[in-house]
Amino acid sequence: MSDSEEDIIEGSGDEGEAMTASEVLQKLEEAWITERISPTLERHQSELVDCMLDQINQMTENLKRCKKHDFRLAIHKMEIDRIRYIISSYLRVRLEKIERFAHYLLEKEANTTEESLAVLSPHEVAYARDYISSLESHFQSLVLQHVPENLRTFDAAKMSVKPNMDSYIFLRAKQETQGVLLEDETGEGRDEEVDLEEGSQHLMRYKPISHLLHSGAVTLI
């Protein structure tokens, strides 16, 4: 048969949980939306991306074998295009953020020892390092060589841009959460505690809810 069966794919190996292709796609979509909206770089989902790329390649192979069923072919191709769009948009957003926050991210990565909390995938780490060194050599050859000796230092740390964790974002609560503490940094003593009901939508700063985002209790919209 030319159509590929729905595969059962091994998940991230902790519990050997198997996810179907459609679940992987759903998770990838959520990761894409989160990455688009979040002010900082989220944890990398390279497993989901690789899995989807595999699926696409498999499907393309199958389609090659099956000749000219005209509209069935077109439908599968459309779906492949849709998935490819999500993947490339996701990766592009991540690259943009890596270029903007390169130094900050590499520092954070150096301090993270646990694999599951890693924000950058190995390829992205290499990319970030290359980017910083290219930038540095570019500045050297363009400007710094030609200025007097005492101004020649390149301090990457001073040039690093940190993501704005206080940006406001829209979110939807997937689980009921009591007592989210919104600290008031303007010193007016207006610390607020908010209860998030399931299914409710809110607008608030990223920082107080980032831990909820990582635990899956809320999702960005």
Partner 1 sequence: MDATEIEFLAEKFPITIVPNFAQEKLYLISGDVGPFNPGIPLEVPMWLGMNLRQRGKCRLVIPPWMDAEKLAEKKEEESQSKVFTEMPCEHYLVVAQLLLSAAPEDIPNSQQVKTLVKDMWDLRISKLRSSVAEFIKIEGTHAKLDRLTLLEINSIRPFLPHAFDHLHRLSKAAYTSKLSQTQEL
> How many Å apart are CA 132 and CA 124, to the nearest integer?
12
Q: Which of 112, 200 has the CB closer to partner 1? A: 200
Under rule CB under 8 A, residue 55 binds partner 1: yes
Could you tell me the smallest distance in angstroms from the CB atom of residue 137 to partner 1?
34
**In contact, 173 and 217? CB cutoff 8 Å:** yes
Could you tell me the smallest distance in angstroms from the CB atom of residue 214 to partner 1?
20
DSSP state at residue 5: P
> Of these, 143, 192, 214, 215, which contacts partner 1 (CB under 8 A)?
192
Which among 17, 2, 145 has a CA at the least distance from the CA of 70? 2
Q: Which stretch binds partner 1 (CB under 8 A): 111-119, 122-130, 147-155, 185-193?
A: 185-193
Dig out the tokens for 151 from the structure. 């101004």
Which among 86, 99, 80 has a CA at the least distance from the CA of 35? 86
- Give the x-and-dash track for 11-50 against partner 1 (CB under 8 A): ----------xx--x---x---x--xx-------------
Strands (E), 94-197: 168-173, 177-182, 192-196
> Of these, 11, 46, 47, 56, which contacts partner 1 (CB under 8 A)?
56
Cα separation of the two ends of the chain: 40
> How many Å apart are CA 189 and CA 70, to the nearest integer?
67
**Is 170 strand, coil or helix?**
strand
Q: Which of 174, 205 has the CB closer to partner 1? A: 205
Q: Which stretch binds partner 1 (CB under 8 A): 53-61, 104-112, 116-124, 127-135?
A: 53-61
| Residues near partner 1, by CB under 8 A | 3-6, 21-22, 25, 29, 33, 36-37, 52, 55-56, 59, 71-72, 74-76, 78-80, 82-83, 85, 89, 164, 166-170, 182, 184-187, 190, 192, 194, 199-205, 221
